[in-house]
Amino acid sequence: MDSIYVLGHRNPDTDSIVSAMAYAALNNALGENNYIAGRIGHLNTETSFLLDRFGFKPPLYIRSVRTQVSDIDYDTPPALGEGVPVSHAWKVLQDQGTRLSALPITHEDGTLSGLITTGNIAEKDMESLSNPTVQSVPVFNLLGALEGHILNAPQDEFDEITGEVVLALSGSRQSFHKDNIVLCGNDSQTAEKAIAAGASCIIFCQSDAAENYRNLSCGTCLIVTPFDAYRAVRLLFQSVPVGRIASKEDLVYFHLSDYLDDVRDTVLKSRFRSYPVLNEEEKVVGTLSRYHLLKPRRKKIVLVDHNELAQAVPGLDQAEIVGIIDHHRLADVQTGKPVFFRNEPIGSTTSIVASMYQEHGLLPSPNLAGLMAAAIISDTVLFKSPTCTQQDRILAERLARHAEVDLEDLGKAIFTRGVSFDKPAAELIRGDMKEFHLGSHALAISQITCVETAPLIKRLQEIVDALEYCRIENHYEIMMLMITNVLKEGTELVFAGDPEIIRSAFGVDKIRHHHVFLPHVLSRKKQIVPALSQIWG
């Protein structure tokens, strides 16, 4: 079964990470076994702290869901060693039928050495007509191709055979020399002449006379084969190691991780019919051809905690969305066919997933239950956010009882240890940043939730400069950082852009140095975005 990746939004917060993990765990527990929780950004300090506290490793980091070579049904023909005879390569190609025109040749460690094609073999075969010589053919290869055996010495006495191939049939008056490889039949006189001349090798073809030379002590390698001379001479040339005739220069190959649109561009510019496929260890795992690129499988994706393209994983247009679970406004993600969709006006996506556990009569593990309770606390700002519902609180309390944790203590730990005030301003604002498009207006809103805002306010100028840089770089109309104080139940709003936008949206007059305090404002999606939507509606 194809894997289904469960992914939250970019610059993930705790709710995004945990809802993905919990939803994947739920489906796997129900017998699907192919759901993989992922993330498309680095973990913030809060999420890292919570994962460590409850004993979980970070989800798989996924940079893009563009279709890759690993997503297609590429061919997996045998990869042949360099020393295999050409005859074996030809047999393998014939066994594969018309589907394959090439085979990868590998070093002993499985890495790519070259590519053998039917064209390579045909070229070598035609070359043997004008140049009937073989160079340093291993005796093992020769015996294997001829299905023969050595008559006059232990098999390990002769290592390689080199020489000009001479076909000496009955009645032949040819003369021989030491660099000849002589093929003969029952003509003992021809064999005697070749031995006397010190021929490199004599091959007895369907010969009854061959037994007369068994155990003969001489420097000539004597081989007997059941094949007739005309067939034996073809097999002789096909005993050459395949690595010698394989194409090795200017090879075009791809890796499993290569993106298919990049592969298409390369294939269109090249003249080859088959391309080796390598894994991350540079070992050959298969071959691909042009027809493999026509209908690739798309990665299957479930989106959690978002349904907006600007917040989604790169390459989403090449993936297949099979589900969406969210608690935000409906945005611009489109699907090609009906999918599972669950959107609720609730404080946390993890609460939705917790409800799904309940509906299936299933409890998460105690550690996962504790992590889910923490995610609900984080996203509802310890139940003080206007997005929080009674259902969030009920679910969090139920999960906390199962995990044997105290919600108040957990909340204090989250909001006191979730922020590193010494991080560079640019890193702080990108930690939990979401991009929005309201009509023709593009903007981004970051949020830091803590119990002490003074250390950040002291760095106001640095933060404003970082916001302005990010605004210009990404062509936002306005860029904001919400520094939300859990104890004060309000937000220090720092922004870059036109102050008039803030005045109009929030009805404030006293704005000092791109900074204003907004009492009772805790939620990005329920208080900040709707206020901006009103003036840009």
The rounded average pLDDT for each run of 10 residues, N- to C-terminus, in the chain (537 residues) is 91 95 97 92 92 97 94 90 88 76 91 90 83 87 88 72 85 81 87 90 89 86 92 88 88 94 91 91 94 89 95 94 95 92 96 98 97 96 92 97 95 80 88 88 92 89 95 95 91 94 91 92 90 87
Assigned CATH for 4-67+299-417 = 3.90.1640.10
Report the pLDDT value the prediction gives residue 168, as an integer from 0 to 100. 87
**Tens-digit pLDDT profile for residues 362-419:** 999 999 999 999 999 999 999 999 899 999 999 999 999 999 999 999 998 898 876 7
Q: How far apart are CA 282 and CA 280, in angstroms?
A: 5
Query: Which tokens go with 235?
Result: 């097999």
Q: Do the beta carbons of residue 41 and residue 10 sit within 8 Å?
A: yes
Report the pLDDT value the prediction gives residue 99, as an integer from 0 to 100. 67
Strands (E), 92-170: 102-106, 112-117, 133-138, 149-150, 160-167
Q: How far apart are CA 371 and CA 22, in angstroms?
A: 9
What are the boundaries of each domain within the chain? 4-67+299-417, 425-536
Secondary structure of residue 122 in the 3-state scheme: helix
Q: What's the CATH architecture for 425-536? A: Roll (3.10)
Query: Which tokens go with 166?
Result: 């001479």
Q: 173: buried, middle or exposed (CB in 10 Å: 19+, 13-18, 0-12)?
A: exposed
Report the pLDDT value the prediction gives residue 321, as an integer from 0 to 100. 96
pTM here?
A: 0.72
Buried b (16+ CB within 10 A) or exposed e, 491-507: bbbbbbbeeebbeebbe
Backbone φ and ψ for 504, nearest 5 degrees, come out as: -70, -40
**Tens-digit pLDDT profile for residues 420-467:** 778 899 988 988 898 999 989 999 999 998 888 888 999 999 999 999
Report the pLDDT value the prediction gives residue 11, as an integer from 0 to 100. 87
Report the pLDDT value the prediction gives residue 25, as an integer from 0 to 100. 97
Query: Which tokens go with 24?
Result: 């994947």
Report the pLDDT value the prediction gives residue 172, as an integer from 0 to 100. 66
Strands (E), 369-440: 433-438
